[in-house]
Structure 1
Amino acid sequence: MTTYSSRNEVPLHEKWNLTDIYADHCKWEEDYVLIEKLAEKLKHYDGKIHDGNSLYQYLKQSEELSFVLNKLYAYAMLKVDENTRETKAQSYLERAKQLSVRVSSAISFFMPFLLSLDEETLKGYIESEDGLEYFKEDLLESYRYKAHVLTKEQEEVLSQLGEALSAPSHTFGMINNADIKFGEVTGDNGEKVELTRGMYSKLIEDEDREKRRESYKAYYQPYMQLKNSIASTLSAAIKNNVTMARIRHYPSALEKALFGDKVPKEVYENLIQTAKNHIAPLHRYTRIRKEKLKVDELRQYDMSVPLVSGVKQVIPYEEAFGMMINALSPLGENYLSILNEFKDGRYIDVRETPGKRSGAYNLGVYGVHPFILLNHQDDLDSLFTLVHECGHGVHSMLSSEHQPQINARYSIFVAEVASTVNEVLLINYLLNNEKDAEIRKHLLNHFIDQFKGTFFTQVMFAEFEMKTHEMAEKGIPLNVEVFNQTYESLFREYNGDEIVFDDEVKFGWSRIPHFYRPFYVYKYATGFASAIHLATKILEGDQTTLHSYLEFLKSGSSDYPLELLKKTGVDLTTPFPIENSLKKFGVLVEEFSKL
């Protein structure tokens, strides 16, 4: 595995090229001034929109502002993520956030104004001004929010609270990425070294049980030390969600979170219930794990180690990229040429370096191209991560190319479909091209663990969010004890009774960044279930599904997520897609137990 002690050591072709957004900082500063001017200009429309033409002029300039602000913000964020310890980059991001709040404040009059018009007047404006046809769907969609928009003055106050309301998330991000110091583990030469996240993801899969135990304890050490601080940030984030839902007259925080995607809360509840109805294969897999590892007591630090020993595949980045190209060939030549463009054009930031943001993501920048952050470790997990994020990247690219700015950004709800279809195609390719029986078992084991992590674990997280928000809505105080009890009981319910709980288990909630984006994680599970269905059809050679899937990738947010999925043959308002994917899980566990 290649490790780098600083970003300067990483070869140029493995670092993204942010000059594609701004050639230099001067251009960033120029856009900063431009946005200030545009925001001021938009503010002057308050009380002055009286016909179709003035409405069109406002919307056109508003879209221009949003285009520039998106670029400016993305650049600052990507710079910070290269090195979260770099104070100069932090100040750019801080300024971008403040500017964003000022823009929100300047345009906060618009939604109350729009909803004060009766629908017939608005339709009259649209008919009288050709340019408004472009904005028509968005304007009429706004009426869906009528019951949840406040007066002009109240909206202005709320927009100014934006930065304060995001403080819990920001604080947790700082604790989790910049400040956290993990405990020490024993290095290869017998000396103590400080654990890093990259090391942890390796060590928790190590065949040496003592190494796993040591890294597990060291990893959870800071979270347990900071338990009260982190409980305070999470509690504040949940209370903010509940308060905002009340202020905006939603029945609950959950329904507020689902409203934008027009997802009925039954879809969320159905997901949790269906997963629980089909939990038996997961419990069976836990029992197989205990038997295979030959342990008297199965512990949480035994849950990630591959069950097929001696199969440590080293997959360098170049090789991983080639495997991805081969695995995704069923998606066609155009898809593959976009992937090659990602590599040749330096859209991907590959290596882990000190201070770099952990994890992986794709950020589509409209009018530029996607940027992908990785922390590549030359192993099977990293291959899957590459394939996953490139799925998001191609989705961003195709939606930007085929949709106007207004519809180019797709909902998170459909995002996970694009990434997971790629993962299913990859596992299929790897299994089909592997003759070695041990490696085949290893791959099957890996996919079962992947399924467990992307589906069952996310459903468990989704239920944790639902329960904690419901408590806050009932006025039950949220603290370390409440979070611990809730998390521990759910962990037991999902993972079965075979596991002996260390004290660390119940602190699992304290390390999850996604809890600061309310009711987000369930989309991984619905996306995963949808993707299993689609990838299976594509692999069967179903050309209709392949065509409708590629159209889906081009469709951005041109329709509501559930409707976009229905066009590909996936209907999430019924339990069938979830049940079908869970049947697949049962088959995988069955096959693995026979091997």
Structure 2
Amino acid sequence: MSTYKSRKDVPEHEKWDLTDLYADEQAWQADVDECYQLADTLSQFDGAIQDAKSLLDFLETQEKLSFTLRKVFAYTMFLSDIDTRDAHAQKLSAKATQLSVKVSESTSFFMPFLLSLSEETLRAYISAEKKLAYFEDELWKSFRFKKHVLTKEKEELLSQLGATFQAPGDTYNMLNNADIQFGVVTDDNGQQVQLTRGMYSKLIEDEDRNKRKEAYKAYYKPYVELNNTIATTLSAEIKTNVTLAKVRQYESALHKALFADNIEQSVYDQLIDAAKANIEPLHEYARLRKQKLGLDELRQYDLNAPIVPGVKAEISYEEAYETMLKALKPLGDDYIAKLKEFKEKRYIDVRETPGKRSGAYNMGVYGVHPFVLLNHHDDLNSLFTLVHEMGHAMHSYYSSKYQPQITANYRIFVAEVASTVNEVLLINYLLKETSDKRMRAYLLNHFIEQFRGTFFTQVMFADFEKQTHERAEAGEPLNAESLNELYEQLFRTYNGPDIVFDDEVKYGWSRIPHFYRAFYVYQYATGFASAIKIATAILDGEEGALDAYMTFLQSGSSDEPLELLKKAGVDLTTPEPVQAAMARFSALVEELKQL
């Protein structure tokens, strides 16, 4: 059984054990009180850090607060996500948010203070106090930003304008989540009902083409109607990014976005170039899709329709977990033993219940363990989601086990590597185990679709972001017409000449919330390509590949992301990893064609 009418009906061993965080609410409240006391202590350091000892005292207190605050926040988040309708959980969540505002205020002075120091003074502090060695790397990482920090007065002014800078993104989010009204579609009873996002994701994969088309038109309706408004919000967001980059003396908005992770721009450019140079297999896949669906014209609403229909495997949660353990065997005994433990010790909240947050995630809580939220249905997609999230969870587990608190959290740039390595190992295992031709075709198609969504589509988005920001930097207008034209041109380049364009295609950019977090999406593609290379090396039994990967999982953020990946055998400063992933994609398309 995969859906329950009440959380009470779910077996205990398929629910989180939140007593691992707090025995009861009283214990949680005690930590909240302690956080307030620590925040008050931290605010007293403002203007009082005069030497190595006071710098150390501040940093140690801040780390202690950070440790407790994460637990406090995690507890309320998990309670809310179990049932988003729970008023008491919402109340605790509001308390945690209030606390985090207080903490943020109490430490806001520190970064301007640190960056006001001379390099000589910071070195003198570090050599005067042995215990500062623990914080040294993080201090120098922060210190890299010194040349991009303005005078105290200007920084205060920018700080006061923070809400203004966030306005385009806030406006878009409100518009996209609260105000947008999709068109109507016909339900199974022949009634006209308003489309929802949840309905759309199902209908766009329906085998009935008329249903797909109706859902597609209804989904894009508000984006077409609000085209000028959304163009104004995105244009404002891009101009804000460009202006702040200029004010802070970065070479460009892209340079500013890559600076924090120490990523060279060549990595971003090479990704786009390599994808475009190897785009033909994606076009070939579009032709295959058109042929398999028996269409005279392939349109955007045909891109998610199943081309291997009718393959519906029922896989219970128990069976899914066992399959995962077998598929991930190449990662070694310790990895498998820990995965078994995660299930036994109730680190996973498995079932969909009324009010539960949709989707799936992993959250590692340092000093406790990872917590994984699922909405498991007994099907193949849920098996892939399980394997994906457990990749994140094991990355969190190993990083927390082998790293001190300061470097235990891995960066976004490498976050999708462990989850995708697991998915590649699962696909490989399932393909090896199946003798059914239709199931094999279904699995190949599933993997190809992952490539299309996680790699090619994200690269297309990254290309769009780069070109829109460059236009703004050159003083060219960004309006509905220019954004539509650019997106349509990129969609054609990436998806190929076999797609007949409906008018809606060019509005695709206006439904992407990630564009309000500039230059973020390219990391999905680099992470995916890195994972393909790592998983292939492990499966091919390359000497040292598994040890290098396990070291990567244990490394947290102890080095820069590009360096961590190099140690795992992936050098993203060269086009080779992306080209290798492209070769794998080409082989998948070729095999699916043969089948």
Same fold (TM over 0.5): yes
Counterparts of 1:299 and 1:158 in 2: how far apart (Å)? 46
Counterparts of 2:228 and 2:88 in 1: how far apart (Å)? 30
Q: Does 1:279 align with 2:309?
A: no
Partner of 1:66: 66
Q: Which runs of 5+ in 1 are unaligned?
A: none
Partner of 1:445: 445
Worse overlay, 150-159 or 199-208: 150-159
User: Amino acid of the residue matched to residue 212 of structure 2?
Assistant: R
1:556 deviation in Å?
0.3
Partner of 2:116: 116
- Note closer, same or farther for the CA distance 1:181–1:14 as it changes in structure 2 (3 Å cut): farther
Worse overlay, 492-501 or 175-184: 175-184
Worse overlay, 410-419 or 348-357: 348-357
- Note closer, same or farther for the CA distance 1:450–1:90 as it changes in structure 2 (3 Å cut): same
Conserved 8 A contact 1:105-1:160: no
1:128 deviation in Å?
2.3
- Note closer, same or farther for the CA distance 1:6–1:497 as it changes in structure 2 (3 Å cut): farther
1:100-115 equivalences in 2 (<5 Å)? 100-115=100-115
1:31 deviation in Å?
3.5
Worse overlay, 349-358 or 545-554: 349-358
- Note closer, same or farther for the CA distance 1:156–1:316 as it changes in structure 2 (3 Å cut): farther
- Note closer, same or farther for the CA distance 1:467–1:453 as it changes in structure 2 (3 Å cut): same
Counterparts of 2:36 and 2:205 in 1: how far apart (Å)? 50
Partner of 1:387: 387
1:367-406 equivalences in 2 (<5 Å)? 367-406=367-406
Counterparts of 1:208 and 1:63 in 2: how far apart (Å)? 56
Partner of 2:241: 241
1:434 deviation in Å?
0.2
Conserved 8 A contact 1:97-1:163: no
Partner of 2:508: 508
Partner of 2:256: 256
Counterparts of 2:452 and 2:57 in 1: how far apart (Å)? 50
Partner of 2:565: 565
Conserved 8 A contact 2:2-2:376: no
Partner of 1:269: 269
Worse overlay, 568-577 or 183-192: 183-192
Counterparts of 1:521 and 1:40 in 2: how far apart (Å)? 38
Counterparts of 1:342 and 1:449 in 2: how far apart (Å)? 29
Deviations along 1:355-396, one digit per CA (max 9) or x if unpaired, are 554433322222222223334343333322221121111101
Conserved 8 A contact 1:349-1:372: yes
Conserved 8 A contact 2:292-2:307: yes
Counterparts of 2:350 and 2:468 in 1: how far apart (Å)? 36
Partner of 2:312: 312
> Which SS does the other structure have where 2:368 is aligned?
coil
Identity %: 63
- Note closer, same or farther for the CA distance 1:91–1:524 as it changes in structure 2 (3 Å cut): same
1:38 deviation in Å?
2.1
1:545 deviation in Å?
0.5
Counterparts of 1:482 and 1:28 in 2: how far apart (Å)? 52
Worse overlay, 440-449 or 200-209: 200-209
> Which SS does the other structure have where 1:135 is aligned?
helix
- Note closer, same or farther for the CA distance 1:193–1:334 as it changes in structure 2 (3 Å cut): farther
> Which SS does the other structure have where 1:150 is aligned?
coil
Conserved 8 A contact 2:271-2:526: yes
> Which SS does the other structure have where 1:350 is aligned?
strand
1:422-571 equivalences in 2 (<5 Å)? 422-476=422-476, 478-571=478-571
User: Amino acid of the residue matched to residue 131 of structure 1?
Assistant: K
Deviations along 1:492-546, one digit per CA (max 9) or x if unpaired, are 1100121122233233223333333321111111111111111111011224000
> Which SS does the other structure have where 2:574 is aligned?
coil
1:438 deviation in Å?
1.2
How high is the TM-score relative to the length of structure 1?
0.91
Counterparts of 1:30 and 1:156 in 2: how far apart (Å)? 34
Conserved 8 A contact 1:421-1:532: yes
- Note closer, same or farther for the CA distance 1:142–1:425 as it changes in structure 2 (3 Å cut): same
Partner of 1:215: 215
Conserved 8 A contact 2:245-2:256: yes
Counterparts of 2:357 and 2:196 in 1: how far apart (Å)? 12
Conserved 8 A contact 1:177-1:355: no
Worse overlay, 102-111 or 168-177: 168-177
Partner of 2:340: 340
Counterparts of 2:18 and 2:242 in 1: how far apart (Å)? 38
Deviations along 1:374-430, one digit per CA (max 9) or x if unpaired, are 343433333222211211111011101110011001111111111111111011001
1:449 deviation in Å?
1.2
Counterparts of 1:11 and 1:180 in 2: how far apart (Å)? 38
Worse overlay, 189-198 or 264-273: 189-198
**Cα RMSD after superposing both structures:** 2.9
> Which SS does the other structure have where 1:276 is aligned?
helix
- Note closer, same or farther for the CA distance 1:267–1:498 as it changes in structure 2 (3 Å cut): same
User: Amino acid of the residue matched to residue 558 of structure 2?
Assistant: S
Deviations along 1:573-592, one digit per CA (max 9) or x if unpaired, are 01111111111111111222
User: Amino acid of the residue matched to residue 47 of structure 1?
Assistant: G
Counterparts of 2:446 and 2:72 in 1: how far apart (Å)? 39
Worse overlay, 551-560 or 446-455: 446-455
Counterparts of 1:412 and 1:427 in 2: how far apart (Å)? 24
User: Amino acid of the residue matched to residue 509 of structure 2?
Assistant: W
Worse overlay, 212-221 or 222-231: 222-231
1:352 deviation in Å?
4.4
Counterparts of 1:502 and 1:331 in 2: how far apart (Å)? 46
Counterparts of 2:209 and 2:472 in 1: how far apart (Å)? 40
1:180 deviation in Å?
5.8
Deviations along 1:90-147, one digit per CA (max 9) or x if unpaired, are 5655554454344333323322332333333322322222211111111222321111
Counterparts of 2:454 and 2:66 in 1: how far apart (Å)? 33
> Which SS does the other structure have where 2:544 is aligned?
helix
- Note closer, same or farther for the CA distance 1:481–1:95 as it changes in structure 2 (3 Å cut): farther
Deviations along 1:537-571, one digit per CA (max 9) or x if unpaired, are 10112240001101100000000011111112211
- Note closer, same or farther for the CA distance 1:380–1:203 as it changes in structure 2 (3 Å cut): farther
> Which SS does the other structure have where 1:372 is aligned?
strand
> Which SS does the other structure have where 1:349 is aligned?
strand
Counterparts of 2:233 and 2:73 in 1: how far apart (Å)? 24
Worse overlay, 65-74 or 493-502: 65-74
How high is the TM-score relative to the length of structure 2?
0.91
User: Amino acid of the residue matched to residue 129 of structure 2?
Assistant: E
1:352-371 equivalences in 2 (<5 Å)? 352=352, 356-371=356-371
Worse overlay, 42-51 or 403-412: 42-51
Conserved 8 A contact 1:306-1:446: no
1:297 deviation in Å?
1.1
User: Amino acid of the residue matched to residue 415 of structure 1?
Assistant: A
Corresponding pairs, count: 595
Counterparts of 2:460 and 2:254 in 1: how far apart (Å)? 15
- Note closer, same or farther for the CA distance 1:494–1:330 as it changes in structure 2 (3 Å cut): same
1:236 deviation in Å?
4.5
User: Amino acid of the residue matched to residue 447 of structure 2?
Assistant: F
Worse overlay, 372-381 or 349-358: 349-358
